[in-house]
Structure 1
Amino acid sequence: MIKDFRLLFEYARLKFTNTDQKIADYFLALNPTKNIEELAAEIGVSTASITRFCKKLGLNNFKEFLYLYQNQLDSENPEFTETRTLQNEYFEMLQQFDQCLIQDDIDVFCELIHKHRVIYVFGLGYSAFAAHDLKFRLTRLGKCVEIVHDNDSIEMISSIIGEGELVLLLSLKGNNNRMVQSAKRMKEKGVKLLCITANESSRLLDYADNTLLTVSLKGEESTGMISGQLPMLIAFDHIYFRYVSLYRDSIQKWVRTEQSFEE
């Protein structure tokens, strides 16, 4: 994709109407970014005209153009480049998660969590760190969450839990052979397995009853620029939000029960 928005304008200029030129002039003046409704009101055109303008540039929508335009502004205003770059990384992560999100998968996770009082969470490294956030949330909902965060403990716990129990497997890369073997062992015993990973080719998917795909950081976690916990935390947010929506009545009942004991 051409990264200089001015060149896009030049290539598409022959197709421009007077309305298109008004839109182009706004951006050629390096005016501040606005959402599509604000921009339409500012220059006196319709939002549909702005969308058609973007398509004439070879882009899918206005968001794509804004991303390109903001990058250009950043390059011409270096003091904002680092902040904008980080914001763009966040934006791309959320877009990527939205693309791989399947609502039915979220609902299956919520249903199994609702049915089980005790939940084992297997995770290593950043996944294990993120698991403490999930434990805090689910504990507030009356669940007992046990985090298992090293290979030896994962093998030991997987050998003693039995049919019908629930285990959540957290692994961004999804290529830990010992976790895969533990998943296979538990699957053979009838343990319910849920998996969150960024690797759609992971062998963990062969044994999980249901899988939620999350985003990959493409190596940024190794530099520390973006927290390696974020992909898991994004997935947890969606699960928790949906769980509260689906089971609000039972949550309120549990809270009232706890309050009565406190009194």
Structure 2
Amino acid sequence: MNFENRIQKYNSSLTDIDKKITKYLLVNKASIRDKTIIELSEAIQVSPASITRFCKKIDFNTFQQMKFSLIGTSTENKKSDHTFETVYNYYQTIIKSTQQFFSEEQTNRIVKLISSKNKVLFCGIGNSGLIAHEFNSRIYRMGISSESVTDAHDLLMKSSLLQENDLIVCFSNSGKTKPVIDAAQIAKNNKATVIVVTNFEQTVLTKLADEVILISSYRYIDDPKFINSQLPGLFLLDLLTYKLLNNEELMHVRQKTLDAINKYS
């Protein structure tokens, strides 16, 4: 797992000193290649022991291992004078980074949950709501009873109607979106299964989840002009859609809905 993903994964356990180290490393990736731990500690104005503890905390065995990971990420995030190449490189970086969070076992569990529940409710606010709508659009074409909600009041009402054999899939990059948290809590109280898709573990939202799916954050791309917060979610959506359509019945129903559209449109 690369440096940025480790920062995401262990964000909740980072102290103020850890965050100071993180900020310096992310801003000065290219310059740390030849720095020793002593030189780096002097530049950041923290002790070498603090850097060692930081490395252990984000699951690197040594300072050198952390440094090589960070240098590799810096190479991946290379910029170009050509806009097409720059954005293409960013896409590659985000997809590769997001892939590090997934496992075959977890995605198979998610597919089983989606295909076995009586009803699936996808929810999110803002950009996360766009992913919720797109996921729902694909799922109900497979004959799975589903709905997407992006309005705060509708979220509360729809989640209150969920039952024990239903599923709610919550999209929130920050894990702090209050309407989504409230909807997850209501669904949990009704004994529905809760899946959370987010950038960070150990938030109020993830504590309500039966399954947490981590996706990479675009914010680790060091370019303020690149603002695609949806790409990691779409990558997850494509992966789960592909797996769902391995089911012949779901594929058959999807083809049936497409035939109806083609015939009457």
Shorter-chain TM-score: what band? 0.5 to 0.7
Per the TM alignment, residue 195 of structure 1 is displaced from its structure 2 partner at its CA by 1.3
Aligned amino acid, residue 107 of structure 1? N
Partner Cα separation in structure 2 for residue 141 and residue 196 of structure 1: 21
Post-superposition offset of 1:69: 9.6
1:168 and 1:159 map into 2 onto residues whose CA distance is 14
Q: Which stretches of structure 1, 4 residues or longer, exceed 6 Å deviation after superposition? A: 256-260
Kindly tell me: are residues 69 and 92 of structure 1, through their superposed partners in 2, closer, same or farther at Cα, counting changes over 3 Å? Answer: closer
How far is 1:181 from its partner?
Answer: 2.9
Partner of 1:111: 112
Are residues 59 and 216 of structure 1, via their aligned partners in 2, closer, same or farther at CA, if it must alter by over 3 Å? Answer: closer
Deviation at 1:230, TM superposition (A): 1.4
Report SS of the residue matched to 1:218.
helix
| C-alpha RMSD over aligned residues | 3.6
CA distance in 2, matches of 1:255, 1:179: 29
Q: For residue 91 of structure 2, what is the aligned residue in structure 1?
A: 90
Of stretches 134-143 and 232-241 in structure 1, the one that deviates more from structure 2 is 134-143
Q: Residues 106-145 of structure 1: matches in 2 within 5 Å?
A: 106-145=107-146
Compared CA separation, residues 160 and 2, structure 1 to 2 (3 A): closer
How do 1:185-224 residues align onto structure 2 when only pairs under 5 Å count?
Answer: 185-218=186-219
Q: Cα offset for 1:217?
A: 1.6
Contact 1:108 1:210 in 2 (8 A): no
Alignment partner, residue 226 of structure 1 = 227
- Give the letter for the 1:238 counterpart: L
Secondary structure of the structure 1 residue equivalent to 2:202: coil
The answer for unaligned runs of 5 or more in structure 1 is 9-57
Looking at CA atoms only, which structure, 1 or 2, has the larger radius of gyration? 1
More relative contact order in 1 or in 2 (CA 8 Å, sep 6+)? 2
Matches for 1:1-263 after TM superposition, within 5 Å: 3=30, 64=72, 68=75, 71=78, 74=80, 79-80=81-82, 82-218=83-219, 225-245=226-246, 247=247, 249-254=248-253
AA partner of residue 124 (structure 1): I
Flag the 1:184–1:2 CA change in 2: closer, same or farther, 3 A: closer
Shift of 1:117: 4.7
Following the alignment from structure 1 to structure 2, what is the Cα–Cα distance between the partners of residues 133 and 108? 21
**Uncovered stretches (5+) of structure 2, i.e. residues with no partner:** 1-27, 35-66
CA, structure 1 residues 190+228, in 2 after alignment: closer, same or farther (shift >3 Å)?
Answer: same
Per-residue CA deviation, residues 217-236 of structure 1 (Å, 9 max, x unaligned), is: 2187x966333221211110
SS at match of 2:235: helix
Where 1:241 maps in the other structure, the secondary structure is helix
Letter of the 1:91 counterpart: Q
SS at match of 2:218: coil
Contact kept in structure 2, 1:117 and 1:142, CA below 8 Å: no
Contact 2:196 2:209 in 1 (8 A): yes
**Could you tell me which residue of structure 2 aligns to residue 44 of structure 1?**
none
Provide TM-score, normalisation by structure 2. 0.63
Figure out how many residues of one structure are paired with residues of the other and give that number: 200
User: Taking structure 1 as the reference length, what is the TM-score of the superposition?
Assistant: 0.63
Tell me how far 1:239 sits from its aligned partner.
1.0
SS at match of 1:105: helix
Q: How far off its partner does 1:171 sit?
A: 0.8
Shift in Å, 1:85: 2.8
Could you tell which deviates more after superposition, 250-259 or 176-185? 250-259
AA matched with 2:154: S
